Amino acid sequence: MAAAIAGSIHFVQEVVLATGSSHARDLPEKQSARVQAMPVDTVLVTRRIESNSIEGSVMPDTLPKIWGSYFNMETENVFSIDYHTDRPRIDYINEKDAHVPVERLHVPDYIYFSVKVPDSRKSGLPDWFMIIGGIFVISQKFHDLLARFELGETRMFEVPLYDSDQKTIRLGRWFILHVAAKKVTVIPELSEGIAPSGQNSPRWKRRLGAMSDTLAVRADSASGADLWVDPLFRNRLFLSDRLLTAMRVEEIKVRELGLSECTVTTEHS
């Protein structure tokens, strides 16, 4: 049957709501000018639409969309906010990086601005950002959205936010987002721009010096948790299309998601 399949790939430009600045690279002059005039919360995304022609008929692409996010590697997402814990500070960082399930007693008990900053900056925090140690912090708005989705072993723990004096509490509700949902997702041999994480390591990462990569992912990884990590792929979060769509509709503010659409395949599923 594979020999009878003649695949055709078409590229289209579509405008979608996102949380980064607008991009207009590699576009014709008139289209680039139009994109530059868009609001800062609009980004031009190139979406790949695939259709397969089998014996003269056309089959629409029905595979789910899966998105990779470089959020945790974008320095723009880090704020000068520290955390307090009665445990050795490195303990929770190790648990976070290993994406192991944790209970409330394991996470920091509060967070605070590590330096004095103007009130305008304190009140202008996004809905998802990182603090010292790469810990994820989310707003009540994002918390309430995530609570409607499948999270697996991922947990959200409420923490108060204080000024730098660690006494004056800030308004609003904030939560540590501890991502522990894991699914083997990436197919290394079908991906581009990646390399083993180390000699004889079973884990993979973006190749050193590569500005981008193209990840081939298993179609069945779209089931289950809507936000997850691949235990065999470093420094990447994965989002279901339904979660990303909801984030856009509800205008969840993030400085830089570092999004890229994965190439979904049933091979190896």
Does one domain contain both 81 and 104?
yes
**228 and 183 Cβ atoms separated by less than 8 Å:** yes
Model confidence pLDDT, tens digit, residues 239-268: 999 999 999 999 999 999 999 999 999 976
Model confidence pLDDT, tens digit, residues 91-128: 999 999 999 999 999 999 999 999 988 877 788 899 99
Residue span of the structural domain in which 201 resides: 63-269
**Structure token pair of residue 76:** 């723009």
**159 and 175 Cβ atoms separated by less than 8 Å:** yes
Spell out the residues 6+ positions from residue 143 whose beta carbon is closer than 8 angstroms to its own: 156, 173, 175
Does one domain contain both 12 and 113?
no
Q: Is the pLDDT of residue 56 over 60?
A: no
Does one domain contain both 199 and 145?
yes
pLDDT value at residue 112: 97
pLDDT value at residue 110: 98
Does one domain contain both 152 and 85?
yes
Mean pLDDT, to the nearest integer, of 230-246? Answer: 95
Model confidence pLDDT, tens digit, residues 161-215: 999 999 999 989 999 999 999 999 999 988 987 788 778 777 878 767 767 778 9
Q: Is the pLDDT of residue 37 over 60?
A: no
Does one domain contain both 157 and 39?
no
Q: Is the pLDDT of residue 9 over 70?
A: no
**Side-chain-side CA neighbours of residue 89 (13 Å):** 9
Q: Is the pLDDT of residue 8 over 80?
A: no
pLDDT value at residue 214: 85
pLDDT value at residue 181: 98
Last residue of a domain, one of 31, 62, 93: 62
Does one domain contain both 70 and 43?
no
Number of domains in the chain: 2
